[in-house]
């Protein structure tokens, strides 16, 4: 078997066997297939695509390229949750404690932020003392003890994905549905989950801005879950404007605490309840979405999720007093109030522009090894659909240097109209394994 022959076969639109896909991935991981050959293979996949069986085989080959976590020592069914990335996406910090407070184990591996999208690990590390590095046995013991642990993804999880992503990033093959889907799902499968709830974002701040793209990606990932024997459901969710009110690491931790205390933004709260309900149903804890949703509402009202977050922080070395004293979180030196220059309805808040501005403030990474500032970000005071008077505060910029052009840049993120904007659903569609 030769890489050349497999590249030619896929280039000509032919179907690859399971053994051929396994050969390409295993030999590339071992360094026996050259970067230029794998780049050609990725380009062939980009133009010719893969069928569901090929995509599932690619995913499993990548998942098997390194260490796979064995979470069989955890009591209960583990449902992992994944978001394709957005702006102000604080859902894990809210959903995970809520689901754990229902007695369902949450054993989650999360990543760091890259580009304009934030990362759960960066957010957690803005809590003084919090560590996201745990050995596997300690990880399992903590989940058994308090039903929750969130750790950083190990470098030895799906190493083929790390190598492939770096290659795709410089060869214009990132936006290929089979390659994206296998990248996401290989890490999820290797992390040991029993099933998956996928939050697939669509809109200006999403990796898949067009809804048709997001639906294709979601269906592909749900199909992979089915082929791998992992119950999987996907929600197509809106990312035309930032989720919640804050964008930035410490600011989003603050908002997560406030949300679990029952004081969160409507959209962030609702999405967390819906994602959590799907997790409870897949875990077999609840029979229906409605039953699960009601239970999570009760946990939110009783602040059981907030108590669980305190347990998580304490168990992983963080200062649990942050729950009661938000000033413990990193604080930026300057707060600049951005005021509207006109009256009218907010038609749109451009999530991508906001996310890029927050990255420029220092909250995000241009490269994987960039240093970030956990304290900076943007706090929205209004959302799309609100009627605003001239000089009313639209947003607060938290920065560690005085603002110059950023003030005007924030204003450019807001679009106004004289009539109320058309309603945008928070959740566009649900995709189950019966739909693929």
Q: Does residue 56 sit within a domain? A: yes
Q: What CATH number did the domain enclosing 11 receive?
A: 1.20.970.10
Q: Residues 14-61: pLDDT tens digits?
A: 999 999 999 999 999 999 999 999 999 999 999 999 999 999 999 999
CA-to-CA separations, 101 to 147, 157, 305, in angstroms, rounded: 8, 28, 6
- DSSP for 160-195 reads HHHHHHHHHHTTT-SS-HHHHHHHHHHHHHHTT-SE
Choosing from 10, 27, 81, 82, the catalytic residue is 82
In the sheet where 377-380 sits, what is the strand order? 246-247, 377-380, 393-399, 334-339
Please check whether residue 300 lies inside any domain of the structure: yes
* Cβ within 8 Å of residue 60, ≥6 positions away: 186, 189, 228
C-beta pairs of 45-51 under 8 Å, 24+ apart in sequence: 45/10, 45/173, 45/176, 45/178, 45/179, 46/173, 46/176, 46/179, 47/11, 48/10, 48/11, 48/12, 48/13, 49/176, 49/177, 49/178, 50/16, 50/178, 51/15
Distance of alpha carbon 374 from the chain centroid: 18
Residues 339 and 411 in one domain: yes
The answer to whether position 289 is within a domain reads: yes
Catalytic: 289? Answer: no
Q: What's the confidence (pLDDT) of residue 300?
A: 97
Q: Which of 63, 93, 111 finishes a domain?
A: 63
Evaluated on CA atoms 109, 188, 258, 287, the torsion sign reads: negative
Q: What is the mean pLDDT of residues 401-414?
A: 83
Domain contains 356: yes
Q: Judge whether 72 lies within some domain.
A: no
Tell me the two tokens of residue 135: 């050995």
Residue 11 lies in a domain: yes
Give the closest residue to 180 by CA, choosing from 156, 194, 200, 155: 200
Same domain, 306 and 407: no
Catalytic residue among 81, 147, 187, 356: 187
In the chain, the N- to C-terminal Cα span, in Å, equals: 32
Distance of CA 286 to the CA centre of its chain: 24
| pLDDT the model gives residue 306 | 98
Residues 388 and 344 both lie in one domain: yes
CA 54 to chain centre: 25
pLDDT digits (tens, 9 = 90+) for 101-117: 999 999 999 887 766 67
Question: Does residue 397 share a domain with residue 288?
Answer: no
Same domain, 56 and 123: no
Report if residue 73 sits inside a domain. Answer: no
pLDDT of 375 reads 96
Question: What is the span of the domain harbouring residue 54?
Answer: 3-63
pLDDT tens-digit profile of 327-386? 999 999 999 999 999 999 999 999 999 999 998 898 877 666 678 899 999 999 999 999
Q: Which of 352, 338, 264, 290 is nearest to 86 (CA)?
A: 352
In a domain, 296, yes or no: yes
Of the candidates 81, 108, 147, 168, the residue annotated as catalytic is 168
Say yes or no: 338 and 287 in one domain: no
- Fill in the DSSP letter of residue 117: B
**How large is the angle between the packed helices 211-227 and 177-190, nearest 10 degrees?**
40
Rg (CA), the chain: 22
161 is catalytic: yes
DSSP 8-state symbol, 326: G
Tell me the residue length of the chain.
436
Distance CA 302, CA 280 (A): 18
> How many domains does the structure of the chain reveal?
3
Task: Please provide the average confidence, as pLDDT, over all residues in the chain.
Answer: 94
**Which of 83, 183, 375, 399 is labelled catalytic?**
183
Residues 217 and 281 in one domain: yes
Q: Which residues pair with 152 in a beta bridge?
A: 110
- Which of 80, 89, 122, 161 is the catalytic position? 161
Whether residue 169 sits in one domain with residue 295: yes
pLDDT for res 62 = 97
Q: Which of 107, 427, 381, 97 is nearest to 256 (CA)?
A: 97
- To the query of whether residue 230 is one of the catalytic residues in this protein, the response is no
Query: Which tokens is 168 given?
Result: 């795709």
Would residue 183 show up in a list of annotated catalytic residues for this protein? Answer: yes
At residue 408, the pLDDT reads: 80
* Tokens matching residue 97: 């404690």
For residue 266, count other CB atoms closer than 10 A to its CB.
10
Same domain, 116 and 232: yes
Q: What does the pLDDT look like over 139-170, one tens digit per residue?
A: 999 999 999 999 998 878 999 998 998 898 88
Catalytic: 199? no
Task: Give φ, ψ of 314 to 5 degrees.
Answer: -65, -40
| Percent of the chain's residues with pLDDT above 90 | 85
For 229, counting Cβ atoms within 10 Å of its Cβ (0-12 exposed, 13-18 middle, 19+ buried), the class is: exposed
Q: Enter the pTM of the model.
A: 0.94
Verify that 280 and 351 share a domain, yes or no: no
Q: Where is average pLDDT lowest: 202-216, 328-342, 399-413?
A: 399-413
Residue 97 and residue 40 share a domain: no
Instruction: Give CA angle at 301 (316, 76), nearest 5°.
Output: 50
CA distance 389 to 1: 69
pLDDT tens-digit readout, 227-283: 999 999 999 999 999 999 999 999 999 999 999 999 999 999 999 999 999 999 999
Read off the CATH number of the domain in which 285 is found. Answer: 3.40.1030.10
| Pair (126, 8) in one structural domain | no
What is the CATH classification number for the domain harbouring 383?
A: 3.90.1170.30
């Amino acid at each position: 078997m030769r890489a050349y022959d497999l590249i030619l076969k896929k280039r000509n639109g032919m179907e690859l066997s399971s053994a051929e896909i396994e050969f390409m991935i295993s030999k590339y991981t071992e360094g026996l297939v050259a970067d230029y050959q794998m780049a050609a293979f990725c380009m062939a996949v980009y133009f010719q695509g893969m069928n569901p069986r090929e995509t599932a085989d690619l995913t499993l080959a990548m998942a098997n390229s390194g260490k796979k976590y064995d979470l069989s020592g955890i009591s209960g069914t583990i449902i992992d949750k994944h978001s394709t990335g957005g702006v102000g996406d604080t859902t894990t910090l809210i959903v995970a404690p809520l689901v754990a407070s229902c007695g369902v184990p949450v054993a989650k591996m999360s990543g760091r932020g890259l580009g304009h999208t934030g990362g759960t690990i960066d957010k957690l590390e803005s809590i003084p003392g919090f560590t996201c590095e745990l050995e596997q046995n300690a990880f399992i013991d903590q989940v058994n003890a308090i039903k929750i642990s969130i750790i950083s993804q190990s470098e030895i999880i799906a190493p083929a994905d790390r190598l492939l992503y770096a290659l795709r990033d410089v060869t214009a093959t990132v936006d290929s549905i089979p390659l994206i889907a296998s990248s996401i799902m290989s890490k999820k499968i290797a992390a040991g989950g029993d099933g998956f709830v996928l939050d697939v974002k669509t809109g200006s701040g999403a990796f898949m801005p067009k809804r048709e793209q997001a639906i294709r990606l979601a269906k592909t990932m749900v199909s992979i879950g089915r082929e791998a024997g992992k119950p999987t459901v996907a929600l197509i969710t809106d990312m035309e404007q930032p989720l919640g009110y804050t964008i930035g690491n410490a600011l989003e931790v603050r908002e997560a605490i406030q949300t679990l205390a029952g004081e969160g933004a409507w959209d962030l709260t609702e999405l967390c309840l819906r994602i959590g309900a799907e997790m409870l149903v897949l875990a077999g804890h609840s029979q229906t979405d409605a039953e699960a949703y009601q239970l999570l509402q009760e946990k939110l009202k009783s602040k059981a999720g907030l108590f669980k977050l305190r347990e998580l922080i304490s168990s992983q070395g963080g200062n649990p007093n942050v729950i009661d004293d938000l000033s413990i979180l990193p604080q930026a030196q300057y707060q600049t109030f951005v005021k509207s220059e006109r009256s009218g309805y907010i038609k749109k808040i451009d999530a991508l522009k906001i996310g890029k501005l927050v990255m420029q403030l220092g909250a995000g990474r241009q490269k994987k090894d960039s240093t970030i500032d956990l304290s900076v970000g943007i706090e929205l005071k209004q959302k799309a659909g609100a009627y605003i008077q001239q000089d009313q505060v639209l947003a607060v910029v938290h920065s560690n240097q005085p603002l110059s052009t950023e003030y005007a840049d924030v204003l450019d993120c807001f679009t106004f109209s004289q009539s109320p904007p058309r309603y945008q659903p928070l959740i566009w569609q649900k995709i189950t394994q019966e739909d693929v």
